[in-house]
Amino acid sequence: MSSEPGSPDELNVPELRRYLRRVGDRWQLDSAHLGGARLADARGAGPQRERGPEYVVVLVSEHFDGVPWLERVHQCGSLWDTREMRGPAEVHCYTPPELARKIDQLQRVRDAVRDGMDLLA
């Protein structure tokens, strides 16, 4: 997204796609959204702001149903390549009904879903 390859605020889109494939090998995703400070950087946000998490990843799958929440988050989080993405991710994994509730409850989730990058587009 940045005009200068390799710049600190450039998103590693090829690695984001690989990440989605790794997750998709385990659970078919209904939707996937990216938010966080790195996305804001890539969109030109100024440096004088509260950054929050570097990446916020919201993964939605009906196939998460029946899988304990902590197990989903651990497995999907362990597939994130922090080195390749040059930063950690705060990973959220929800079924569609859970997402509907979390959008109302968690600002980070709401921002990633409403204003973030649709990773499956």
Whether residue 58 contacts residue 32, with contact meaning beta carbons closer than 8 Å, is answered with yes
AA letter at 62: E
Average pLDDT for residues 52-65, to the nearest whole number? 96
Q: Above 60 in pLDDT, residue 5?
A: no
Backbone angles phi, psi at 65, to 5 degrees: -60, 130
Four-CA torsion 69, 67, 104, 113, nearest 10 degrees:
100
| pLDDT number for residue 47 | 76
- Cα–Cα distances (Å) from 82 to 16, 21, 85, 97, in that order, read 11, 16, 5, 29
Find, among 69, 61, 72, 58, the residue nearest to 97 by Cα.
Answer: 61
Whether residue 99 contacts residue 113, with contact meaning beta carbons closer than 8 Å, is answered with yes
Q: pLDDT averaged over the chain?
A: 91
| pLDDT number for residue 9 | 55
| Complete domains list, the chain, with CATH | 28-118 (3.30.300)
Average pLDDT for residues 2-16, to the nearest whole number? 67
pTM of the model: 0.90
Size of the chain, expressed as the number of residues it contains = 121
What is the spatial distance between Cα 42 and Cα 1, in angstroms, rounded to a whole number? 6
| pLDDT number for residue 32 | 98
Q: Above 90 in pLDDT, residue 19?
A: yes
